[in-house]
Chain A
């Protein structure tokens, strides 16, 4: 795992105020912000020339302010498969998160802009995409888990299993779950196995495929 001090970042957001603030916050937190962009073209050019470890991208950018960030993420991953992309969004919408995660095998993340209230959360997400892992905002996951269902398969899960499922859906690895919940690797594995069995999902060691399977299940 790379240390924050060595992680080189590019930040793209059309709002100068937010972009500057985020760059300063991340710099303060030990990240190396090597460039800022206000639009997708500039972002791609920066990424091409400076090859950062990760790009932080606003989902809405010029010219149409719809899903430029998602398309920029695709473009960056296509050109530089080892550069992580963290898409920041003001929208708590499963659709955008699913679209992003489904389009890339890891290394991409969808995070609410609100998370900047805690730089550790942002830093953690950056580390994960840099390491090729998927990141799904906890708010998106909790919306999925909270969905009302007539016959809710989640009712069969224990409280702890639901916690584990939420972390799985956020894209956490078993190791991260273990650290997060202070439980043993064997306990994590057993929880994960139980959850997958109860939900009728196939077990898969790959974090990305696992998160996708869980998200798809929860969104159904």
Chain B
């Protein structure tokens, strides 16, 4: 579903700490926690008797290790795929190596001397790779590699020449790694070690400042807590290094506890930064809630996904399989983002449920700090896009149905117009010609003076006149020629004039509209008048039609008994079909004893026919 541009964060790559391995993970994390507690206990138990001048130092010192390991457990739980947990745990466990110096056996002392200060390597690694756990530049990789190399090697080289008994610890056990007791060589090695450490520390510091300066705002949100906690920790580091050479006043009672507290705070700051991104996942839920309310407004698509991702700079490139191009959500063509990707931008692809590409999300790399979130955003984007696509399909289908309905109505209208024309040009003309012939016969006969024939001709003529009048009414009822030729206004006036209930035409647009629109308006009024005449017992009917640039609004209202409904047989049903097929709305308002108003809003322009 979600395929991140950065392979290292592919959620599908999984981890032994994830998913089905949940029980194993619980055991491993529990073991890690217990191990830290055991180490801390050992440090406190062996440390307190030797602690000078106060046992507080030992407790605070142990808390630093507990803090790192504890934070690593939390980090493992929330970011099982990230190296962050591993680095926090390594830092914490290496921290406890100090206790080895106090145990009092030679192998513990020797190992303790070699491991002394090694925790700086994973800690620096963490600082430079936070929050992803991945080192993003060559320089950083070199620095971290150098740390992992120089710290143990430096320790080992100096330990070769250290005899703790002669170096001022007569009760200490022998150093197993000692090849020669050479205090001057030992001091040289320590100095070289410290110099290398200082150079690397400064490199780490400079790199961190650089990272901070070029970090995007979403990235800074993650880095910020660690960034602020870093400075006390660095001062602490500097003091620890310097304490090998300088004697600080009240070092043991004040400086050392402060240094330890500063270090203990650091992993918590990392955690805060890391879990901050998790809080933002609720934005994804907000998007889902929004989707539930219906299709998004045009142009809202990118914005909604960007909000869910918590990255306002997020761009959306929708894939059009037909034309094989990417467009943004305003349908503007955009360049293929995968070809133009840079270190500053990450690309996440979104596929539909069948695995076909839907879109690419181009976003801040900081989002990758939370792979689950990237996955959630990609899923949300997939839902959104598929939702939009379904809505678009639905709209297209509805539009097809509407258009076919419109075609049916239009064809029926055309047929009615045809019948009216045929009656006019055919039957009516022939009957008129017959009427003429009868009149000629009557005139010619008048000289012959045949009263019988005269009477017969007169009767025929009268019958024919009635037939013609009936035929004219029939033709007008089928489709008034006046509507076709002169528009709604004259046709409605004619209708109102002949209505059985006094009918006032208050307003009529003088403009002409397309035949289907005029027919819809006319037949609404015609049907409204017919219904009012039959059912309303009204004493007056008011007809209104107004047009603005997008709509024709037609209304027939009476002051009758009300209670009308759009049920079958009222003619309103067919009218509704006619009006809806034009994208319009028919409304009936007919409270009991409150008169009846039938009205329609018919779009007269494509603007009016837009989404409602």
Contacts and interface: CB of A to CB of B under 8 A. Distances in A.
Interface in B514-573: 539-540
A24 B500 contact: no
Contacts, number: 89
Interface stretch (B186-194, B368-376, B438-446): B438-446
Nearest to A16: B433
Contact of A114 (B432, B485, B503): B432
Contacts of A144: 497
A94 B491 CA distance: 10
Interface in A125-170: 143-144, 147-150
B429 A15 contact: yes
B497 A90 contact: no
A74 B97 CA distance: 115
B17 interface: no
A93 B476 CA distance: 10
B501 A24 contact: no
B591 interface: no
Contacts of A15: 425, 429, 433
Q: Which 3 residue pairs spanning A and B have beta carbons closest together?
A: A21-B436, A95-B490, A66-B485
A17 B439 contact: no
Interface stretch (A100-108, A116-124, A175-183): A116-124
A178 B482 CA distance: 36
A91 to B, nearest CB: 6
A7 B461 CA distance: 27
A119 B468 CA distance: 17
A147 B497 contact: yes
B502 A150 contact: yes
A50 to B, nearest CB: 23
B433 A117 contact: no
Nearest to A149: B502
Contacts of B482: 91, 93, 95-96
A28 B440 CA distance: 8
A28 B443 contact: yes
B481 A22 contact: no
B432 A24 contact: no
20 contacts: A15-B429, A15-B433, A17-B429, A17-B430, A17-B433, A22-B436, A24-B436, A25-B439, A29-B443, A65-B421, A67-B485, A90-B424, A93-B494, A95-B493, A116-B439, A117-B439, A117-B465, A119-B443, A150-B540, A219-B493
A113 interface: yes
A150 B472 contact: no
Nearest to A150: B502
A92 B472 contact: yes
A116 B485 contact: no
Interface string A168-212: 000000000000000000000000000000000000000000000
**For B462, B497, B499, B500, which residue has the most chain A Cβ atoms within 10 angstroms?**
B497
A18 interface: yes
Classify chain B's interface size: 35 or more
A117 B497 contact: no
Contacts of A65: 421
A174 to B, nearest CB: 28
Main secondary structure of the interface of A (DSSP, over half): helix
A24 B443 CA distance: 11
A116 B435 contact: yes
Classify chain A's interface size: 20 to 34
Contact of B439 (A60, A92, A118, A147): A118
Given A18-B432, A91-B481, A116-B439, 12 more contacts: A15-B429, A21-B433, A25-B440, A28-B440, A90-B424, A95-B493, A114-B432, A116-B436, A148-B499, A149-B502, A150-B502, A219-B497
Contacts of A149: 502
B464 A117 contact: yes
A1 B484 CA distance: 40
Contacts of A116: 432, 435-436, 439
B501 A114 contact: no
A95 B481 CA distance: 12
Nearest to B499: A148
Nearest to B494: A93
A80 B558 CA distance: 49
**For A17, A25, A93, A113, which residue has the most chain B Cβ atoms within 10 angstroms?**
A93
B512 to A, nearest CB: 12
B589 interface: no
A94 B540 contact: no
B140 interface: no
A173 B12 CA distance: 101
Given A17-B429, A114-B468, A117-B465, A94 B435 contact: no
Contacts of A150: 502, 504, 539-540
Given A67-B485, A90-B424, A114 B443 contact: no
Contacts of A92: 472
A93 to B, nearest CB: 5
B437 interface: yes
